[in-house]
Each structure stands twice: as structure tokens, then as C-alpha cells.
Structure 1
Amino acid sequence: MYTSKLQFRCEFTKHDADVFYTTNWVVNGELVLTEDAMKWDNGDVIANHTLTEAKLISVHITQVGFELRCSVRASFGKGTAASVPVMSDPKFIGIKISDKTLELSEGDFADISLQLTAPFGCGTTAGTCELNIESVHLVILASEWNKAATVRVFGQVSQSLGSSSNTLKLKLATPDVLFDNMFWVQLKKNTTLIARKSCHAVNDPHMLTFDGRRYEHQYEGVFTMYKHTIFPIEVQIQTADCGRGVHNAWCNCGVAIRAGRTVFEFNRCEGQSSIWTIEYTLCEDSGDVLQVKKKGNNYEVYLPTGGRVTVNVYGIYLNVYIYPSIQDVNNTRGLCGTLTANCRDDFFLRDGTYSTDVTATGDCGTTSNVWQNLLTTFSNSWK
């Protein structure tokens, strides 16, 4: 019957004299086993002194993840004085992790390298087998045990603001092989770049970019208010005639919030009905892609990035407020502009060029270019 087991040999060369050899096995700096003294016997002493799984279990070592060393002493007789031991270099048996401590900011990714230092088998199972590392959903094939594997770690974004540092422990474990290891992640939060930042479209609609630039958006149609440049996340607004005798004024009558292929939508644009249509479409995404909470006339929609969209419904109109996460820094486009802490670069068009309709002067808070309907090219590029 086929079988596979882990075993270790202490390799050394024969002395010129006809002597006895004693092999010692050291685990994590502690002597755990001493083999009986034997003569060279055509090198059979090395095979007879092999450290097997059975011998490891007999000294209560039942899982990998240990440092192993061996030493050899020579003597002229079994009970006579022996030479000074010659110690091998240490060898770690298990999975070596490139970073035992990882420093990571919220919203960032980091790669951890995993390297097996010894082959593994599947007991009495012949053929290809694999090692499943459950906590990171990683599979290593027995035939590729000596190839490094990479695990990507993501710093989960929380809803809170401020600066903080938390230390987390990530444990690696396997279901069938006696192995466990762990590494520490120091997760840092610094929301200085998004503190007190938001973008809004309030009727009819007056716009505020993430970096504080104000402008008018007096156009009819469907527009991209916010779009993440890396993740498939987008917020669109639809404007229609405000009615009530107001000439050439356009109000928000609909908003659609998308993450992946999941969409949450408010709409009363068609026919200017007084009844709101509120729809939630889940399409091949997990159920928690968008989290929606109702608070009075407000709907809070939480995005996978840690950002939040607030939809305020009043009468036949709605206002839209977008609160960014740290993952939005340098990654936003649309009517909300670019979140960079610089109001001078807000008006990028859909094609990536910059709008020449307005030359931003002064600080964001000055009255220059404020409440002026001069951004036709910019607004319509996001239609």
C-alpha cells in the first residue's frame, strides 16, 4: 500500500578511524532524542538514525512549525568519552512567513509570502494531494510544495474617523495537517485627508465637490455624480424640470447607487409622479455589498469602501450627500471632482482631460467661481 511520511536524516562524513557515532536531535533548542551509538557500517548509521514521524510523536512533537537541528559525536567505544558535538545549521520545518509583523493602513493592500520548508504527502492517498490553509483560502499542491505562495491582506476600512492603531492576530491553520502559525497585523487609521469632507447635490442642484469647490449644475438628464477609479462603485443622479412655474430650473428626481452589479435606486422622474419608486437589485453579488438603513426621511447607503451615501427625500425632490472613505483619496471622478485636498484639480472631464470652462482662482472658500453656471463642458461630460 502507498504511504508518505516525513523523515529527516543527519548527513555527515566518515571519520578516518573506525569509531562509533551518536546522533542527537534538537527541536527548538532542546535535546529531544539521542540515537544509540553505531559504527559507520557502509553509511547505514545515517539511515538507522533517521528521525521519523513515529520518533517525533514519541517525544510529543505532533505538528510542524518547529526548528530542527542535529549533532554528531564520535567515540572509540559505546560507553567511552565522546568528541565535542558537531552541530548542523538550524532548519525550520513548516511554513515560513515573510513578515511575522505587518504594518498596514486602512484601505491598503499588502502581500505576505508563504514558503513550505519541507515537502508534505497525504498519508495512504496516492497521486496528487493538496494542503488547504483555511483562514486565507489558499491551496498548495504537494507537487509544488517548494514554490512560494502569496496571500494578499487588506486593511478593512471602518466607519469611524480619527487616528488610531490596532494590533490584530491572523492565524493560519489547516484542517487535515497538524500545522498552525500566526502573524500580527498592526492596522493604522488616519482619516486626516477625509476629515469633514463631503460632496453634495442639493436642489436645484447646487454642487459641492469633495475638496470644497462650489458650482451650479443646471442641466437635465442622468449624470455620474461619483465614480471610483479602481472599484466598480458609482453614484448617478437624474435631474428634471422642478415644476411649480420655475423656469429653467432642474431638480434631483432620482439617484442610483451601484456597487458591482448591485443597485439601490430612488426614482420619481418618469411623468413627475408624486410616488417614489425605491428598488434594490441584487445581481450575482453577495447580500452585503450595499447596506441600506432608513432614518426618518433619510436613507443611509454604506459602500464596500467604507464610504456612505445619504439620500434625503423631501416631497417630490431629493438631495444627495456623499461622505468618502480613505480609499477615495486620489480615486474619485464625476461631478464630485477629485478628492486630493486640492480644489484646483476638481474639474476633470470623463475623457481624463481638464475642463477649460473655468480657471480656478483663489482658495476654495472664496467667492471666485462660486454659484456660477460656467461649467457646461464639465457637467455634460458626465452625462
Structure 2
Amino acid sequence: MVCYHWCSLSKSYILLMLFLCIQYAELQTPDPCDTTEALNDMNKRHPTYQMDATPLCDYDLVKKWYSVGSKVMPTTAPDLLSCGTLYPYWIKDPLPTVTNTIAEVTACKVEFGDTCAKDHKIRVKKCNDFLVFELIPTTGCSSAYCFERADGCIPQTVTDVSVSYQNVMWDSSLPNNRGIVRHSPYFNLICNFAPLPTPNLNYKITWYIDKKEIQTQVVTSSTRNKATFSAKEMANHIETLNVWVHCTVEVMGSTTGTSCPSKESPLFFVGVKILSELPIVMNRGGRAFIKLQPTVPFVTDTLMLGNIVLDATPVELDLFAKTTQCNGALVNGFSCSKKIKGFPYPDRVQYDTPTNWNQVINYEIVNENTAAFDIPHLITLQLTSTSGSGVVGHMFGKLPFPDLPIQMVEDKNSWKGKSCTALTDPHMRTFDNLGYECQLDGKFILYRNTESNQEVHVKHRLCHRWYSVPRCICAVAVRAGRQIFTIDICQGNRYINFPLCEDEVMKVVREQDKLYKIYLPSGTTVQISIREWPWGTGTLHLDVTIYPSAADEGKSEGLCGSLDNSYHNDLTRRNHAQPDPIVTYPDGFSRSWVVEANEDLFDKDINEYGFINSMSITNRLLCECNPTSKTALCTYTAGKTCYYERGRKLQCFIFGENKFDKRRKRSIYELDKTEQKKKQHKAR
């Protein structure tokens, strides 16, 4: 009896201590309702906000409690390509309604044809009059959590949103002790939009530079001419121009209310824009022009004593070949500069007429090399600029231009009009028009140019369970230097992203909902189209077409063969042995181009790409300036070989059609249903 009583007391004591410890721990844990960690980009997370050129990605989100204001995650599935991302997340469980309660709910990921392709648990706490969410990283990019207003919201969005140059304004200082006045100019951009007919609405304007949110402002329909972004404000965030700017417009019921669905403008380039298609291709001994154009006026401070302008230097911007130290030799480009004219304060009215400052500049390049050389070969021209005076004037200094590749070729045009195709089944056709079949599973090198440091890999699978032989492409990886773009629809995957984005030298354009074009720095273009086959089954495959450039002349390899105007050597194996006989199913040749483990571009973490070389360490020839002819001289005798600092990189954007023009994107399955209806209608 005594022993039993003693044991009972011990258990009670232990339970009591445990209860007190739990209570103490709860008192020490911060209340999630007090969190100050706000989730970013809330204006883009609304279900009506279509994915733009800068999709949201919560893959790097840190697990913690987040404040979202008066917004909540939707409990009905949003569309694919909504909420500012490709794959939005929503919750399929009820939200907590009792104050100070925490509920565990299921977050669903929307993918192609599936509103809950993947899911995970998150926690939500009901505070007094709002919710807080404990979010965890999503499964990959581009995927993000979706949020909407918890109460009524103005559902309409504005139209015709765009960014454009507005005007130049001046700040004038008081005279100093010598009577000198400084006039400091700055240009303004304006966010244009067509307001809604409903009266008494406010519009929230958000400005971005190179994908980064900078500032917000609120205007009305009558004051929308004040929806501006000045160069003075830009100078607080960037040192030089040649940046992409865009704005979003949200409709608000009041200046203090939570904003609702927004509309985004196309991206607007601010600086001196390169109009020429790159690379510049010219024949040996030939010449060409690189076309450039200012998108905003060059401005610089003016010092005046009374009516006398005291500036000693001319009001113009010098655009010249960058001076580079290579192998002990100085490539000096300043002596062949081009001028971009600005205007002093007394002539400020000139800025009101854009043709006074935005004329196209033709920068001439020549080749005088008559010696034999290995063609095709790439020479690089690098441009930079001087700066004006004053805060805004200095932003025109050392403009970060991208490297301008100059492709010099002989009078051979065997690459023109050619293409390599891998179409559903996959039916293969080389650059030199040899057709064959590759009905094999696995990953293959479709195209590679080691000299240009670029390649295309494809992944084959069984097309459909109805058939035992046909294989189709379900994934494509395109690489240029240390930048990779992939589309992967294998085994339920639905990835369209950049798994590696360091060099940023290729441009990806979404021409249509199911058509992508990738422009490589050599001028080679890769086209990827998403198609359904067999028709009506919902099974998707990828068709790939590669359009070569002069850089591929005699340099290409892989399943696309060697581009040399002869199909007889197209079935050359990886070991460069004697070409295989031309047969319909050259499986030995195809298997020789199976991707090896140390070169695989698929299914890797970013830290596993150490085997890939960067464009930054590529040994190149640089153009130099000819001070006599005032032209950029791009030759093999004058050009200097060096490892150089690369110019401005391209952002890892997926550009909209018409360069940056963006429109509403639909699910591929929705698009297919629409196309089926059209065909059924035509068949009647």
C-alpha cells in the first residue's frame, strides 16, 4: 500500500511538472499574431494577376510566420499562370474562424490539368481581425503562394498600361558668393493607363527597376499625369542607366484601403538601346553598322553666370569602344567615339521635341583582314560611355552595354535557310537534311557547339501506352555558358524555368502559349513547341527545331549532325570515327550521343553544375578603335586576345511576345479545348 501511494505521487508530480514546463514554453514562444515579417509582392499574388516576365518564386522562402494584412489564401483553385507565377498554391481546407486558434491546412499546387498536383501542410492562425500564415518553401520555381482580399474588392483592372518618357525638368540653385547658378536637369517617366469610368477611385502605382520594386504612389483619374518616376529617384537605387523599368496599376476604393487586382505595363528600356540583331554578321573585308538609340534624353548640369554658360565641356555624351588591357597591350577606343547631344539650360525647350535627342546612332565597324583565318570566328566589341555632370548626368557614365558579338565569315552561306528538327515520334532531320529515326529511351545531345560553349539536350520517352515503338521528347535543356533553360513535362513534371542563371547570355521569348524561342549568343535559335499527341488524349510532347548561325559552320555535332553542306558525314559518332552507314534506324550512332553523367543538364541542384564553363572565361578577340577612320576595327591582326570582364548580362526573363509585350496566358489544356472546338466548328 505504501509503495503504491508513493508511486502514484511520483506520477502526479511528473505530470504536474510537465504541464508547467509546457505552459512556460508557450509563454516564451512569440505570438504569431505579433509577427512583423511581411510577405513580399502582395500586389502580384492576386488570382487575377497573370504571370509576367518576372514570375514569383517562393522556393527560397524561409519557414516562418508571415503577415499578409487583410488578405487570405484562396480556398478555390486559381488558374495556371495566375497569382504572378506559373504554378500557384491555394488551400483546400477551411480557414480558422475562432480568434487565437491555429489550424493546419493543405496547400495545393496547380499544374497542367491538375488543381492539386502536389500538396503540403501549412499552419494558419486567426488573430483578432486578420490571419497570419506559417509558410514553407515551395517545391520549385516558378511556384508561389496565392492571396486575395478577405472582403469585397473592386474586380476590374485598368487597360492600356505603359511606361514612356514624359519630360525634362530642372532644379536651380541659388547663386553662390560668385553669382554662379547651377541648373540640374532630370527626366521623368510616366505610367500611362486608361482609368475606369467609376468615379472617386484611387490608383496605386508601383514602380520597378530590373524586377525590383522601388516605390509606390497613389493618384486619381484626374491626377494620373503625376504617376511619374524621376531620374532623381532612380539615382537613389542605381548608379548607371541601361535598365528595364515597368509599373503596375491597382484600383483602390480609398487611399488607405487594401489594393486589389493590378495590371502591369510592358518593360521599358531606360538608357541607350541596341537596335541591331546580334550577333552582327559580316564578310571578311566587309563593314557593318551597329544601330543604337537613346530612349531617354542625355542631360547634364549647366553652370551659369547671369546669361553666360560657364560649362567648359560640350553638352554631349561620348559612346566609344571600351578601353581594355589585354596581354600587355592597350585597346584604346575613345578616339572613335560617337556623340549623343544634350542641351544646356538656355536651350532646354529642345527636350520637348524627341527627334532632337533620340535619333538613331550608326556605329561603324570594319574588317580589313585579308589573311587566311579559321572561320567562322567571333570577335567582340565592347561599348561604354562618358558621363555628364550632376547626379543624373553621372548615371550616363560607363553605361553597362552587353557584349556585341561580331561574327566574321567567308562568302559561304551553307548555314542559311537550314534547320535541324526533332519532331514528335521523334522524326529526326539533320542540318544537312538527312532524315532518320531515333526510337530510343534516354537523354541525348541533340546539338552541341563546343567553340561557342552552347548545347541542347533532349529526353525521350514512350509517346503513349497505345504504342510500343514511338518515342517522343518530354524535356529539353538549352545551355549557353553557365545559363540553362529547361522545359520538362516528363512523368508529371511541368517545369519551365532556369535551373542555372549565372552568365545570362541567352534570351528566351514566349512567342505563343505553347511556343518558345531561345536566342543563343552566337545567333543560333532554338524553337520549342508543346503539342498534344495522340490527339484528344491529353498527352503532351515537345517538338524542337534548331536554326543554325554562321558560328555552326563545321562546328556542330550531336544528333543534328555536322553542318557542312554534306549529309554523308551526319551520322558521325561521338568518337569522330568513320560515319555510320545511312539507314533509317542508326541506333549505334544515336546511342553514342547519349548524355553521360558528367555532362547531364537535367535533374540537378544548382550546386551540381560545376562541370560547366562560364562565358566569362572564354578567350576572345576584342575589337579596337582605328583613330584614323574613327571606326571600330574588328580584325584578327588588330584584335587582342584576352580574358576580359563581360558586359551587362541579360536578365533570366521569359520575354513576352513582341519583345516584352505581355498578355493573358491560358492553361495548355484550356487552349487545346478551344482549338478542338474550332476544328469541330469548321468540320460542320
In proportion to residue count, which structure has more helix? 2
Bigger radius of gyration: 1
